[in-house]
Chain A
C-alpha cells in the first residue's frame, strides 16, 4: 500500500493553486489547437444553417445519427459528477476529495456540450431556440408535455443548475484562498466578488458545509432521473431496439460506467499536466478502478437483460434488430469492438492490482471504455431505425458524413477546452476539501495503528 503523501498546508495551498497563477507554454498550444477544432465546428454549424441537414448522413428512414449518439454519450459522461461527488460524499469515501471538482466540472461542460446537439441537429435551429428555450408553458400555445423531447431539457437543466450550485458552494473557500493569494489587482477584484466575502469564520464554514451536504442529498434523484429521461427518448417509442422497459436503469449504469472512466482519464491527465503528484495518487486510481469493476459488471448485466428481453419477446422486428446488431456485417464489427473495449479488456485488466495502480494502463483502459460506450450508444440508436418494421421496402442504411465527424471532434474539443479554461481561471483542485481530508486523517491516527484514510470507510 502506498502511503498517502502528506504535505504541509502551505505547500498544499501553493501546489493546488499553482496552475491558476502560472502560464505554462503547453496551455497556449493546447487551447490554440482546441480553439482551431472548435472553429471548424462553428464553420460546419454555419454551413448547416445555410445548407440545412443535407450535409449530414440522414436519409429515409434513418433521421437520427451521430449527433443524437453523441448527445447520449455526453449526458452519460456527465453522470460522473454526481456519482463521484454526491454519492461518494454521502458514503464518506475519503479518497473522493481531490476528484470531486474535476468530476463536477466535467459534468458541467459535458452537459453544456450535450445540450448543443438538439440545436445543431434540428432542421430549423433558430426555431428550436425560440420555441424550446424557454418552453412556452405560459401562453399555452403549443406545449406537448407527452413528448420526451420536452422532458429532456427539464431534466438536463435541473441537473446543470444543481451541479453549478454544487460546484460554486464547494468553490467558495478556494475562491477566497485565490483572492488572498493573487497578486494582480484585476484577479483580486474578480475573486473577491466571486468569493462572496468568504472569510473562513465558523458560521460561514458551517453554512457552507450544510449546503454542500444538503445539495449532495437533493441531487441524488437527479442522478437517477437524467439518464432515465434520456433513455425514454428511445424507450417510449415503438421502434424495435428502442422500445424497451429496461432502458432507464441500463442507461443510468452505462452513464456511470463511462462517466467514472472519463473522470479517471481526466485525473491522470491532470496529475501530469498540473503537477499534482502529491494529491492524485495510486490509491485514488485504485479505488476508482475497483468501483468501476462493479459498475461495469452491473452495466454488462443490463446489456444482457436488454438482449434477453429482445429475444424472449419474440417480436419479429425486435429479434431482427438484434440479428442486425450482432450478425450483420458493419454492425458485427462494431458489436465486437464495443464489447471488447467496453468490458473485456478494461475489466479484465482492472482485476490486477498492478494495473489498477499503473497510471498509463489506467489511462488507456478508461479511454477504451469510453470508445466502447460511444459505440454502445451508436448500436442502440441506429439499427432500430434502419429496420423499423416488416415493410422491407423502406429499409435504409445510415452512413455518417464528414460534417458529422467534424461536429463530433469540435464537441470533444469544446469539453476539453471548457475544462482547461475553467482550471486556468478557477482552482480545479478542491484545496479546502483536500486540506480538510488531511486534518481528518491526522485525527484518526490515534492508537498504535496508523490507518490510511482510503481504508476508513471499509
Chain B
C-alpha cells in the first residue's frame, strides 16, 4: 500500500484545466477556490480539525461515536508511519473535501443535492438531500459524512453555534464547504467596496487556525495568488491522482532532509 507521499514528481497541477469535465455550471465570476496543503509544514496538531468542528457546528465526537466510526470530521488528519521502529517517522496528511472538478459524488445523487457551484466549489444542499448516501460511497476520499443523529451540544456549548452555518438534521450527508459562508461574506464586502477580493482575504477556519501555515487558501484562477504559485511547486501532487477527479486541493510533498541527501532524485 503506497502512501500518498510516494506519488512524487507527477505533473498534476493543471489537471483541473485539462481534464474533460461535465460541469453543469461553467465558471462565471472568475473564482476557482483551491487550497494547498504543505506536507512539510503540517505537524499533525489537529488545530484545523478543532477549528472546523466549532466553525461549522459539528456535533461533539464522543468516544462511542469514534469507536463506531460514525464521528464526523470534515477535515481529518491521516497519520502514517514511515519506516520501522526506532526510525519510524510520522507522516501527516490533512484530508478534507477535495472539491473535485470531476466529482464522483455529484453525478450519482438522484436529487442533485450536490453540485458544482460557479466558484468551483462542490456544494451540498442539505434540504434536497434524501440520504441515499450514494455520494458518500462514491467519494474515493471518504470525506462525506452521514448524520446518524440529530446534532446535540451539551450546555453551554449550544450557545456558541455559528449563526452563519446551518445545523444539519439527521438523515442527510454533509461535508466540508471550504467555509462557503466566509467566502460569500468576503465577496459581498468586496462588492460593496467596489474592489476585487484580495488574495488571502478569504480564510476557511482550518486555514486560519493552522499554526504553521501548512494550509493556504485562495483563488486558483488568479495566477498571482499564493495558492496558484504554491500549486505549481515541484513538490505538488494531488490525492489519488490516477482517478482523474481533478481536485481543487494540491498537496506539497514532505521534504525529508535525510532522504534528500541520499536519493535526491526519488524524494523522501
Contacts and interface: CB of A to CB of B under 8 A. Distances in A.
B17 interface: no
Interface string B146-157: 111100000000
Interface string B185-226: 000000000000000000000000000000000000000000
A390 B109 contact: no
Interface in A368-398: 385, 388-394, 396
The main secondary structure of chain A at its interface with chain B is: loop
Kindly name the residue among B4, B93, B137, B140 whose own CB sees the greatest number of chain A CB atoms within 10 A.
Answer: B137
A11 interface: no
Contact of A52 (B138, B149, B173): B149
Contacts of A393: 76, 78-80, 93, 95
Contact of A391 (B134, B141, B146): B141
B142 interface: yes
Contact of B108 (A52, A60, A123, A147): A147
A149 interface: yes
A149 B22 CA distance: 19
A123 B171 contact: yes
B45 interface: no
A237 B106 CA distance: 11
Contacts of B108: 146-149, 236-237
Contacts of A236: 107-108
A128 interface: yes
Nearest to A132: B110
A391 B95 contact: yes
B146 A150 contact: no
Nearest to A147: B110
A400 to B, nearest CB: 14
Interface residues of B, number: 48
A264 interface: no
B131 A150 contact: no
B53 to A, nearest CB: 16
B41 interface: no
Contacts of B70: 54, 59-60
B88 interface: no
Contacts of B243: 238, 389
Given A52-B148, A64-B137, A59 B110 contact: no
Interface in B36-74: 68-71
Interface of A: 52-54, 58-61, 63-64, 118, 122-124, 127-128, 131-132, 142-144, 146-150, 236-239, 316, 320, 385, 388-394, 396
Given A149-B132, A150-B110, 4 more contacts: A124-B129, A149-B109, A316-B2, A390-B1
5 contacts: A122-B130, A123-B130, A388-B140, A392-B1, A394-B78
Interface of B: 1-4, 22, 68-71, 76, 78-80, 93, 95, 104, 107-113, 128-134, 136-138, 140-142, 145-149, 170-173, 239-240, 243
List 8 tightest A-B contacts by C-beta distance, closest first: A123-B131, A123-B171, A393-B78, A149-B110, A63-B133, A59-B69, A61-B142, A144-B112
